[in-house]
Amino acid sequence: MSSTYAVLAEFKNPGELMKAAETVRKAGYTKWDVHSPFPIHGMDDAMGLKPSKLGWLVFGHAVLGFTGAVTLLTWASSIAYPINISGKPFANFPAFVPIIFELTVLLSAFGAVFGMFFLNNMPRHHNPLFNSETIRRATDDGFFVVIESTDTLYHETKTAELLRSAGATLIEPISA
Amino acid sequence: MSQSTYVPEEPLVKGNHTFASITSLIADIPEQPTPKWWYIAFGISNILLGVLLMSIGYLFWEGTGIWGITNPVGWGWAIINFVWWVGIGHAGTLISAILYLFRQGWRTAINRFAEAMTIFAVICALIFPGIHVGRIWLAYWMFPLPNGMQMWPNFNSPLLWDVFAVSTYFTVSLLFWFVGLVPDFATLRDRVKSKLAAKIYGFFALGWTGGNRQWQHYEKAYMLLAGLATPLVLSVHTIVSFDFAVSVIPGWHTTIFPPYFVAGAIFSGFAMVMTLMLIARKLYKLEDIMTLDHIEKVNMVILVTGNMVGFAYIMEFFIAWYSGVTYEKAAFINRAMGPYAWAYWTMFLCNVISPQFFWSKKMRRSITASFILSIVVNIGMWFERFVITVTSLAQDFLPSSWGYYSPTKWDMLTYLGTFGLFFTFFLLFLRFLPMVAIAEVKMVMPQADPHHTDAHKGDH
C-alpha cells in the first residue's frame, strides 16, 4: 500500500467546486468525493451520482412495520387474549388504524435514519481523511475535492495537474 | 418579469457574515467560559427538578390519593399537564418537518432549539402517563409485552393508542434531532481545542466527513424523515384528542376535537418557541440569525393558529346548540357560566383575544409584546386543557353526581417540577450543543448557491 491515501484540493467557493467536480467526473475518476460544509444544490448531477437508494430501504421498513403491526394486533386481540368489548369483533380493524399507522411510521423512521448511516458507512471513526488538518475546514468554510490513490486513473503529478487546472487554490497529499 | 416588480426577499441572515463567521458565532459558544447567569438558572432548575423527584417519590409511596382527583373528576392536573407539554412539543416538529417540506428557509434559524424543546417537552409529558397509574410497579402493562398472566393490552382503547403515538413521536423526534446534529457535531469535533471534547463530539459525529456522497443520502434521509414526521405530528395530537373524543362525556364527544387539538398544540408550541427564542437570542447575541423577521413570522403563526382555536371554541357552542342534545347544551352553558366560568374566560381572553394584537405589524415586531403575549398564550393553553378536562367531568349527566375539583399542593408541585426538568435539559443543551443548525443556516445564505458568483454579472 502506498503511503499516500488521497490527494486533496481546495476550491474557493461552491461554484468553483461544482466546476471542478464536473472536470473530475469527465476525466473518468471513480474513487473521489467532494467535501463541503453543507450540501450543494446540483452537486449530485455534477458528480454523476445515481439517485440514493434510501427510499427503497425506507419502503421496506414501512412494509415491515405495517405487517408487523397488523399481525401483532390481530393475533393479540383475537387469538392470544380475546376480550369482548361491547360485542365488537375481536379483529376490530378501524380501531387498529392508529397503532398500525404509528408502527409503520416508527419503522420507516428507523429505516430512514439507520439506512442512511448504513449507506454512509457510519459510524466510522477511523478514516484516513482525518490525517489531514486541512480537511477539518470542510465542516467550517472549506470546499474540497479528494481523489483516492486507489483510483485506477490516479497519478501523482497528472491528478494534481488536473485539479490545479480546474482552479484549485491548494493541493496536498493525505497520508494513509 | 419586469425589473420594476422585483422585490428581493429579506435576507435570512443579517449582518455581513461569511461561512466562517457563522460557524464561530454558534460553534464557539460551547467553548466559551460558562456565563454566570447559566449557573444561576441551572441552580434554580435543579431545585425545581428536585421538587419534581420529591413529588413523584411521595406519589409512589402514598398513591394517587395525594392528588386532587376525586369523584366525579377522576382526571386532573396529570392529564392537563400531559396534553399541555405534548402540545408544546408540536411546534418543534412543525418547524423542522412541515416548514422544511414547504421550503421555508427561515426555519433554519430556529429549528434546532425548537426540536430540542420538542424532545424535552415530550419527556415532561411522558412523565404523567407513567406516574399516574396507581400501582406503579405495573406500569409495564401499558406496553404489549408478554407477561406471566398471558394478558395483552386492549388495542381498542384510545389510551393505548396514545401510548404508541407519544412514544413513537418521542423516538422519531429524537432521531430527527440527532440526524440534524450529526454534521454540526462534526463541526465541533474539528474545532474544539480540548482533546476530550473533540473525542466526545467526534463520537456523536459518527465519522461524518462532509463528503457529497454522504450529503446525498443525508439529504434524502432528512427529507424522508420530514415527510414521516409531518403526518406523525398531526396524528399525535389527534390521538391525544381521541382520549377525550372517543368517550361519551358531554363536552368531549365531539368530532371537532382532532383539528382543534392540533391547532391548539401548534399555537402553544409556537408561543413557547417565541419565549425561548427571545431569551436565547438576547443571551447569546444571535440577533443576526434570529432576526426580527423571524419573530414576525412566528407571531403570524401564533395569530393564525390562535384564530383557529378561537373558531373552534365558538363552533363548539354552535354545535352544542345545533345538536339539540340537552346534556351537550348544558355542558357548554356550564362552561361559560357555571362554577368554572373563571377558567373558561381566562382561557378565552388569553387564547382568542390576546393574539389579536398581532394584527398590527408594530406589535408583531415588538420584542416586549412578543415575549409577554407568548407567555399569556401558554397560560391560556393550559387553561384550555383544564376547562376541557375538568368542566366536562365535574358536571356530566346527573346533577346528583356533580362535584367541584380543586388541585392539591402535590398537583402544583409536580407541575412546577416539570419546569425544572425541562429547563435543566434545555440549559444543558444551550451550554454544550450547537443551538442553531450551522450547516442548514449556511445553506440558506446567498453564497451557498453555486451560481451565486455568476448571478452578480446579471441583474438577478
Give the torsion sign (CA, B343, B235, A81, A87).
positive
Give dist(CA B103, CA B234) in Å, integer: 19
pLDDT at B364: 92
From A141-145, B429-433, B451-455, the region with the lowest mean pLDDT: B451-455
Instruction: Note the pLDDT tens digit of each residue in A107-132.
Output: 999 999 999 999 998 888 888 888 88
CA distance B230 to chain A (A): 10
For residues B295 and B449, the model is more confident at B295
Which residues 218-237 in chain B show a CB within 8 A of chain A? 218-221, 224-225, 228-229, 231-232, 235
| B186 in contact with chain A, both atoms CB, cutoff 8 A | yes
> Which residues on B lie below 8 Å from A72 (Cβ)?
144
Instruction: Note the pLDDT tens digit of each residue in B83-100.
Output: 999 999 998 888 888 888
| Contact yes or no for B179 and A116 at CB 8 A | yes
For residue B341, pLDDT beyond 80: yes
Per DSSP, the three-state class of A147 is: strand
pLDDT at B459: 45
> Which residues on B lie below 8 Å from A124 (Cβ)?
206-207
Provide the residue count of chain B. 460
Q: How many CB pairs under 8 A join A and B?
A: 210
Closest CA to B79 of B144, B127, B120: B127
> Which residues on A lie below 8 Å from B186 (Cβ)?
139
Instruction: Note the pLDDT tens digit of each residue in B365-399.
Output: 999 999 999 999 999 999 999 999 999 999 988 88
For residue B2, pLDDT beyond 60: no
| B23 in contact with chain A, both atoms CB, cutoff 8 A | yes
Residue of chain B nearest A138, judged by CA positions: B210
Bond preceding residue B399 cis, omega within 30 of 0: no
Give dist(CA B160, CA B192) in Å, integer: 45
| Contact yes or no for B161 and A72 at CB 8 A | no
Nearest to A76 among B144, B158, B208 (CB): B144
pLDDT at A2: 53
For residue A2, give the C-alpha cell.
502506498
> Which residues on B lie below 8 Å from A134 (Cβ)?
none
Give dist(CA B443, CA B111) in Å, integer: 14
Burial B68-88 (b: 16+ CB within 10 A, else e): bbeebbebbbbbbbbbbbbbb
| Contact yes or no for A122 and B212 at CB 8 A | no
Instruction: Look over chain A and give the mean of its residue pLDDT values, rounded to a whole number.
Output: 89
Long-range contacts of B32-41 (CB under 8 A, 24+ apart): B34/B431, B35/B283, B37/B283, B38/B427, B38/B430, B38/B431, B41/B423, B41/B427
* DSSP single-letter state for residue B211: B
The residue assigned the cell 418543534 is B92
Nearest to B207 among A13, A81, A123 (CB): A123
| Contact yes or no for A37 and B213 at CB 8 A | no
Average pLDDT of the residues in B118-138: 91
Instruction: Note the pLDDT tens digit of each residue in A7-50.
Output: 888 988 888 898 889 888 888 888 889 999 999 888 888 888 88
Query: Please, are residues B423 and B275 in contact by the beta-carbon 8 Å criterion?
Result: no
Consecutive H or E run containing B193: none
For residue A1, pLDDT beyond 70: no
| Contact yes or no for B443 and A112 at CB 8 A | no
For residue A135, pLDDT beyond 90: no
pLDDT at B342: 94
The residue assigned the cell 363552533 is B315
Confidence of residue B458 (pLDDT cuts 50, 70, 90): very low
The CA-to-CA distance between both ends of chain B, in Å, stands at 11
| B460 in contact with chain A, both atoms CB, cutoff 8 A | no
Average pLDDT of the residues in B387-412: 91
pLDDT at B193: 87
Average pLDDT of the residues in B69-74: 88
> Which residues on B lie below 8 Å from A39 (Cβ)?
212, 215-216, 218-219, 439, 443
| Contact yes or no for B235 and A41 at CB 8 A | no
Closest CA to A83 of A68, A98, A95: A95
pTM: 0.91
Average pLDDT of the residues in B261-288: 90
For residue B281, pLDDT beyond 80: yes
> Which residues on A lie below 8 Å from B208 (Cβ)?
122, 139
For residue A94, pLDDT beyond 50: yes
pLDDT at B1: 46
Instruction: Note the pLDDT tens digit of each residue in B315-327.
Output: 999 999 999 999 9
List A35's β-bridge partners, or say none.
A144, B211
For residue B426, pLDDT beyond 90: yes
List B81's β-bridge partners, or say none.
none
Query: Please, are residues B431 and B129 in contact by the beta-carbon 8 Å criterion?
Result: no
| Contact yes or no for B190 and A137 at CB 8 A | yes
For residue B267, pLDDT beyond 90: yes
CA distance B365 to chain A (A): 31
Residue B34: φ, ψ to 5°: -65, 125
CA distance B90 to chain A (A): 16
| Contact yes or no for A101 and B20 at CB 8 A | no
| B187 in contact with chain A, both atoms CB, cutoff 8 A | yes
pLDDT at B453: 67
Q: Give the best residue of B147, B162, B191, B220 to mutate against chain A (max A CB count within 10 A).
A: B220
Nearest to A37 among B19, B152, B451 (CB): B19
Instruction: Note the pLDDT tens digit of each residue in B152-198.
Output: 998 989 999 999 999 999 999 999 999 999 999 999 998 888 889 88
